[in-house]
Structure 1
Amino acid sequence: MLPQQGYSYLGLAKRGGNLITGVRLLTAIQQKTVYLVLTSVDVGPTQAKKYEQRCFYYHISYFRCLDFNLTQQALGMNNVKTIGIKDQHLAQRLLTLLNNS
């Protein structure tokens, strides 16, 4: 699970325009414009597999670690289960948090 500080980073990414969600995320993975992809733990197995395989193929870090309700609160958006981080430094900080927890 992503620590509470990680959700603050997600809010910063959204305000800074460094967050991609939805269908555009698949295109961003193929174009390698995202450095980290995070999905909710309650996302369906088919969707999780799709993102995991694409990230593996394009060598992008992938984690299934988000809490659905905390993600909605941090981003102020409804029904967001998969997000991509476009900023390399922010992605690195989130990776550090995930690896330490």
Structure 2
Amino acid sequence: MPTTELGISEEALQEMETVLGNDVRLFRINTLKIGQETLAERAGINVRTLRNLESGHGTSLRTFLAVLRAMERQSWLRQLIPDSALPPKMIVHEVKQPKRVSKPRKE
């Protein structure tokens, strides 16, 4: 069975895509109570692209993010990020000020 560099089987990846797509579909239907056409329009994607996402038939990360934003569910991504992780722009490296170096006195 083919696996990725991290040792995850293609079958497991497909299952994850299917589960995520199904979660999006159920949220759209049960919570938002809107059709695929409406969500696709809000996300700025084609209806066929949304169908592919919801059925687990592959999508890009950009498409997935656009759909989450259109559903106002970016918070779902926070569950994937540890609490201690900060966005790259928020990381501040402590800069140590160089100690003042004095030249030896000439006598």
If the TM-score is normalised by the length of the shorter chain, which range does it land in?
A: under 0.3
More strand by share: 1
Q: TM-score, normalised by structure 1?
A: 0.28
